[in-house]
Structure 1
Amino acid sequence: MSEGTAGREAPQIVHLVARAPHLSGSYNRRVGTLIDELPEYRQRVLCTQTSEPVPDAASDREVEQLGVSGLSVAERLLAALPAPLRARLGLPFGDRESQVFAWQAARRLRALRPRVVMVYDNHKLGPVLRRAIDWPCRLVLHQHGLSYFLSPAQATRDLSAFDAVVLLHPSSFHFDRARSHQYLPDVHVLPNFVDTAEFAPPSRQEKQALRAELGLPADVAVVLSLGRLVPKKGPHRLLRDWREVVAYGRRALLWIVGDGPADYRRGLESMARELGVADSVRFDGAVAPERTARCYAACDLFVLPSLCHEGQPLTLLEALATGVPCIASDYPGLGDCFPESCVEPIAIPNHLGAFVPALSRLLDDPHRRDAMGAAGRALCVEEYSLARGLDRWRRLYDEELRMAVAFPGVAGEG
């Protein structure tokens, strides 16, 4: 338990996340914002244990990190078993850390007895927690991506354990509903939000000064790709197309920011050399969340080359709020959230040369870039601002707290 959580009034709402709010990751950051910005609700975070230092922020003072301390002898023995053997025994989690967290979270929730439990992107926790909850409590799943691609039997079992599901866009519901025997939970559609004061367009002078500070050239167009360096995020596809983009003397720099497996990054660097574009590509490691705004402010164009089904990427929102035009893989739900006036979709990102036309058009047309950037900024201010996002979350909290009280005989029965 974190220092300072003992002896406090029991929380109304408990968030179950993989990592603490101060660490990188869109879920962690959102939960931290909800705790910091909505103090009228008593909230607590349960997460896996980390050795990383915890800053003295309001959201992090409400964190309890759950490790192996307090496990029974039987649980320790089960956790030590190989994953296939645990699966045969009916334990659903493949890695030991997740299994330990499930046991500890169920135990801690029984002590805290909150009215609402928010589970972030972990559908397997549903049946485990449902068996543990024997008090009026709403169990809510926040689904990050498009779908978990469960079999109908799995979807019925896992999703039906939840009272409600929070989705980022309507496409997720339609996708899962068509693949399930039944879809019982209530549905809330809550898009991501962005702090439009923190992520704001820089002046020309600010942009020049920032580029000088970051060591970026002042006289070329900078194309930013920011995210984890893993194959499903598609940086190799973007890099493959970059050779054709700069083949005819176009002055541009591809700035790849993020970290991932060392072998994959070395492969990307080797690919850049083999393609003959190493001089027009720059690799930087991961940046701290509080410094990502500087990256967007220093670039001219943002690209999301993802090959997986996204939910509503926070990187897109942050780039748009900064007034940066965007190119993105056309995953299901992109059109629900972002019009083509500010995000140009790539229909088949796996196709050789898929990103070349959009990159070439926008690099050659600064006026169109400016128009798209202005449209994206206006969209974020109007629809995805911090204030709008917090209002949506207040309504969700109020509704779920009301339901937990109004139907005490229903909540917790499964």
Structure 2
Amino acid sequence: MATRTHPLASLRPFPSTFTSLAHPAQLLVETDVPATCDEPRAHFWSGASTSTTPPPIVARSPFVPAPLVEHLMRNKRDSAITTKYLPGTAITNAEAAMHSFVTALQPTVMLGDYAWQGGHSVVDLGTTADGQRRLGRRIVMSTSLHNDFEDGQVAEAFFAVEDERIEGRDLLAQGADFRVPSVAEKNDHAFRAAYDRRLKQHTVFHLMRDQTLPPSDEPPYPPWTVGQSMEYITSYLSSPQAASSAPSELLYDRYLRLPSRRTLSLEFLLASYIASLNNELSALESLCPLSQGGYVYTFSPPSIFAQRLPAELSTLLVLLALHEIVLAHSSPASSASTATAPALQAMRVFALGAHTPPLQRLVPLLRSVLPSHVHVLTRDALFPAPALTLRLPEGVEGATLVLHNNADAFGQNIESEAAGGSLDGVFGD
């Protein structure tokens, strides 16, 4: 039976003029980095490097104003570790929340495979036959952001109900122009608060079915705790109900009470994961097609950004969003519904970072939401010991490896952070 899915759940094609991102992950490439170089980032920044990189593919949700996309991609700080908006900086907390709907996909050469060895590290891939240059692995780096729950300033505030009802309003209605305010304007607290509220109203308009968030004292149903939310979602994904009802229907008008005492809209939060995954997977399905080997998708649950919303719950919401996208493929409203190809036909592998027992328990649920052609395994199984380097499942040779640097909305940490500091630092260094 057909089920109604979220309007942003149906993947969209990319123009044929876009350059393919595909490259067989198992084939190592020669780089211009000397074998004796211990700081590849410094080499690439120097005049000694002859390396060139094509521009990124930027995938954005249709409702994100074009000027905001450029602003988010160009105006980050050099580093923003543990900090959010600061006076005199360019990106506000609501803008950072909207960065979830803007994802860059960058062809990249990694000089090693990421490995956790009591800390963030990289396993070198060796040198050329003459021992002069380092070898690398060509990948697609996705900057898809985790919702920022490091503290209460960004995602927690953005998806929360407030004392007053929030009516959705389209910032681009009737051809209205959108202008990103200046740093000086944002320095004014009242101006910045009003601007951030307008961004929230704009997103409510586009993501929520009724285009409104009720006030905190009028929830249609009592809010669930974190534990109740995880139990309910797990039960749904494990039941026959999942085959006939969309997750967005399940969480319509449902709310989550965090330990911080803030109440979040689960409908709003799930819609953000659907929109974010739609951007990334639409690009990957188009630009790493099955005819060119498809792609291996990796996902590392949040750590730093999971201080207020546990990684297990945010990963369950990702699973719900994946399920919604798969259901939308067979929906009568989908342009793909008449095709014989399965949903996510170019996805060959989904490798989940399951470094804790609660996350390990999600692997069977992940397997249940993805089409049967997708190999589901843990990230450790994709980079197995003792070598800790990439080992593709049999039959998946030729696929492109997609890695996430767990980017930060406020700072270019990939350009400045040390390798031991985070996944972002490992990618940069």
**Comparing both structures, which one devotes a greater share of its residues to helix?**
1
Superposition TM-score tier, normalisation by shorter sequence: under 0.3
Structure whose alpha-carbon radius of gyration is higher: 1
TM-score between the two structures when normalised by the length of structure 1: 0.26
| Greater relative CO, 1 or 2 (CA 8 Å, sep 6+) | 2
TM-score between the two structures when normalised by the length of structure 2: 0.25
